[in-house]
Amino acid sequence: MDSFLTAIDRSSRLLEGVAVALLFGFGALMLGEVFARGFLARSLPFSWEYSTFAMAAVFLLASGRAIRTATHVRVSLILEAAPARVARILDIVANVVALAIVALLVAALHDAFSTSLERGLISATIVATPLAIPQGIILIGAVQLWLDLLARLIRLLTGRAVEDRAADAVPEEPLDV
């Protein structure tokens, strides 16, 4: 079981790295668009389309890692106020509900990806991007999110550490006074 959980953590960390690269690429693309419009009086025909694809991918590719490191938005008011046993049960129920919702998301994204792939659908822009490419990347992110939720549920049920808050912690450096 530990090797399965470790594999999920590693793939999650890898996709987080891809998300970071896409985020920097998205930023560079937008800066290029601003420069082209401001100084060249032209627009980059692909900038908005690819930026939209990149942003959608960033959200899903990094979501699983955010859950593992507890950096996602989460309302824990009830969990903190409830007794430990009740909080654990609520956490398990919430995790199962999240697994079901993300499974529906994966199914919908898979349908869109399959349809685009089978029909050779392309974007309705001058760039004519094959839609299966960005949809496939987004689908990978959704599958990883589901796997991270599964790993979280396994950790909850087996008494393992659920969140790895130290994974992304920056070591403190002594202050030079």
Contacts of 128 (CB under 8 A, 6+ apart): 122
Instruction: For CA atoms 121, 124, 128, 130, give the dihedral sign.
Output: negative
Structure confidence by residue, pLDDT tens digits, 44-69: 888 888 988 999 999 999 998 888 88
36 by Cβ neighbours in 10 Å (0-12 / 13-18 / 19+) ranks as middle
pLDDT at residue number 163: 76
DSSP conformation letters of 58-111: HHHHHHHHHHHTT-S----HHHHHS-HHHHHHHHHHHHHHHHHHHHHHHHHHHH
The Cα 168–Cα 69 span in angstroms is 7
Give pTM, 2 decimals. 0.84
Cβ atoms 68, 163 nearer than 8 A: yes
Query: Token pair 């106020």 is at which residue?
Result: 81
Confidence at 126, pLDDT banded by 50, 70, 90: confident
Confidence at 78, pLDDT banded by 50, 70, 90: confident
Confidence at 151, pLDDT banded by 50, 70, 90: very high
